[in-house]
Structure 1
Amino acid sequence: MAPYASDDNTTAARDTRGDDARGARRRAARYVVPVAVTGVAAATIGLVPALADSGSPDLPEISAQELIEKIAASDVQQLSGTVKITTDLGLPDLGGLGGGLASGMAGQDGGEGSSADPSAKLTELVSGTHTLRVASDGPDRQKLSLLEDAAEYSLIHNGEDVWGYDSASNEVYHGTAADGAAGGKRAEEVPATPKDLTEEALKAVDDTTAVTVDGTARVAGRDTYKLLVKPRQSGSTVGAITVAVDAKTGLPLKFTLTPASGGAAVVDAGFTRISYAKPAASTFDFTPPKGAKVTEEGDAPRTQERDFPKGLDKEFGDGFGQGTDDGAGKGLGEHAEGPVVIGEGWNAVAVLDTGGRGVPSGTEVGGDIGGFLGSLGDEVKGDFGSGTVFKTRLVNALVTDDGKVYVGAVTKDALVKAAESGK
């Protein structure tokens, strides 16, 4: 399919509510919309076509099934734009600890890592509000820039080269697409645009899900249909997912996940400006600045190979020539043998056995660290024994005293029920 021509090269963002587009990150493996998603049972899909709200674009009627197929068939190869992303998981403020942990990821083998290593830098998307500039010109050229108050971090893929540049530290990270293809283990990827978040959400669509078209809206100056995904089951922390889909190209332009508990969105990712025009070739050019410290991929201390963030390599082409691996599509905490899963659909809980003990006490780990960890969670008891539940606004985890971990986008009560059923 040829790239879409642009009829709105540069437009200011607005939707029917006038909200700024926002967005976020979740731990992810590489996903594509599977054939099974486009063949979801009719009982799951709402057959009511889209009807424009007052003031919304007046678009042709479309069913939820047709809209999902439109997303799956989208083949946008060229674009540039700005994405605003916000994550509000309700995590406690750990001050400089979080940044220190992120920086340490680049040097997991004890060496000093590079601040330009994407696996460390892009973990900043786990919380707060961030602005990204993105550009893509097919599978061989992508660029993502994370804009900060007084600095900018850029990640560039141009042919065989992958460059990361942190202007704050004047450090450069250099790798190659060929290295990524030949590497053994694959690193975590960071969903950076609405489409990769949407693809993950659609993988959860089954008979435990209600999917409808919920009117139309304007996003980044484009006419969109709004796809509404809601769990049918109680016990999930997910309230609803709304995706604004470009009516012409089928590209998701905004993704919003609201929690069952109410309040602000947990995840809100959206384009505030988008153009489907071919980016200038110079967009993807990079030469290390004078005096910059350059770290080559083979020299960087780490335990895993690093990947370009999901959302540019997989959204607008296969990118980097990295192919797939046996671990593609595995879920949170899944290893070679995979976790045991209790429940189904949105109430599924992954069970991991660490083979150790639960949350350590302060005396076990020294100082007050164990007590601090315990203070972040709620102690619970049941037929399974006792443990601690660590909560966010989306994903919760129960760590039992005998070392089992129950994780899912479910409530505390659902975790305890899962632990009791596992006995």
Structure 2
Amino acid sequence: MTPPAPLTWQEDGQTRSALWVADHGARPPSKVMVVDDTLNAGTAYRLACEGTGLLWRGDFQNARQLLQALKRRLDRPARKKPVKVKASDNAHPTPSVFNAHRQAQSQRARVLGQILIELQPDYSIALRRAPDVQAACQQAWGPADGQHRVVSLRSLQGVIGSFEWRKNGVEVPALGENLRIHPHYGVFSPVRGEYVQLVAKAPWPEALKAHSVAFDIGVGTGVLSALLVRRGAAQVVGSDLSERALACARDNLQRLGLQNQVQLLHTDLFPPGLAALVVCNPPWLPARATSLLEQAVYDEGSQMLKGFLSGLPAHLYEGGEGWLILSDLAEHLGLRSREELLSWIAQAGLQVLGRMDVKPVHGKASDETDPLHAARAAEVTSLWRLGAAANPPVN
């Protein structure tokens, strides 16, 4: 999270201020206007496009309806002129299309983020028909500290949704019947379970019989650490740079009764020592993240991927394996080639022992109006089994 900064506005002839709370990358609006139920959607859309923050003083449910109206206006051109792209057209990489899509999504988020809600010092909302969001805000931002805050309604809805995800959990069949992972705010949920199934089915390395230690690099919710224990690893060490992720993993491992078999470390990439198996599911697209959740999707310059590959040989027992879980979506978008990936593997002194592939199943893969449909339709998620090369390159 970006450290809260003051947001100032004029109201009832007085200058007022509150802390601006936003995921990193979201700047506070330079101009704030106090509005209520009399504001129509057309005016709201114009002001939001100009970058004016609309601090809501009317009925809370009407603010929600206004946000939906803005979404319809933003999405209207796409509905009028849907562009269908055939998967066969994917022979031509489209990094420019990807960049244009991200820019459009960023602009959309900026406009929708202009409807603002003030939170009282105890995280309550002093608006008619406002929901009770105190517990959700506490889970996302910590205990209330007696200060007024302003947050975009869209971000607040994300906090509320995350609270429900955490409360209800996500069922992960690979862990066992009716077992769930409970993602925390800002930690990516394992809703795309195909990569978890790959880890559940990959052949168990022989080296684990002599050294039953595995590393989980970028532990996230802890789902892969839990699965490795379920599969027979006596000890797993999970690492992450995110304190949120470590807290989330700790919570999930305790829920599953596995906390004594998984050690969690706040460190970049590798824990100290050796392992018979090192698993890593890095962000799949080489681009800059602009939000907490995007950090699980975008890896600028493929730094985590390259760091994992280059450091892996030094952390493997003899005969050990590294499992790299990676989608090839970046290849279909022209952001990274298969040749580049294979060259990084070879330069690290590694060889490919095997690869397991699966086609992801998600709604966007069948949405022909999505500008990235061709790439998404062709996407394959793979588990690369890597081991030390017999004749590693001399640096």
TM-score band by shorter chain is under 0.3
Larger Rg: 2
Judging by fraction of residues, say which structure has more helix. 2
Task: Give the number of the structure whose residues are more often strand, by fraction.
Answer: 1
Q: RCO (CA 8 Å, sep 6+): is it higher in 1 or 2?
A: 1
TM-score by length of 2: 0.24
TM-score, with length taken from structure 1:
0.23
